Amino acid sequence: MDWRKNTLLAAVSLAAFLLVAPQFALATGPFVSTMVDLEDLLLRIGTVLGALMIAVEAVAWIAAQNPQERENAKRGVVYIIVGLILLKSAHNLVNFLLVTI
């Protein structure tokens, strides 16, 4: 499996975790704040890794020697952006659920 697809799978898995996390945080007290802190930490880690991966793919896109390499690099950037959008959407949904519950 290509590393770009693995990255997208990891982003989707992280987003799924962020969607499931509020179910464990229905109780009040320190557990809720721990889950919110964990969710924020995972969002920051995912965002930093996504930005670094976009930079790597951008360099690969610029340095590509043939059209197939350029297309692969462009596809990698698109996969990373989709993963970041899913990650941020899951983060927003979790925050919304934590506020309304």
CA dihedral 41, 45, 48, 52 (to 10 degrees): 180
Residue type, 89: S
Q: How far, in Å, CA of 60 to CA of 1, rounded?
A: 19
What's the pLDDT score for residue 36? 72
User: Which residues in the chain show pLDDT less than 70?
Assistant: 1-5, 7-9, 11-12, 14-33, 35, 99-101
Query: Domains in the chain and their CATH numbers?
Result: 3-19+28-100 (1.20.58)
Q: What tens digit of pLDDT does each residue of 35-52 get?
A: 677 778 888 888 888 899
Residues 6+ apart with CB under 8 A from 14: 42, 46, 87, 90
Model's pTM, two decimal places?
0.67
Other Cβ atoms less than 10 A from the Cβ of 53: the count is: 20
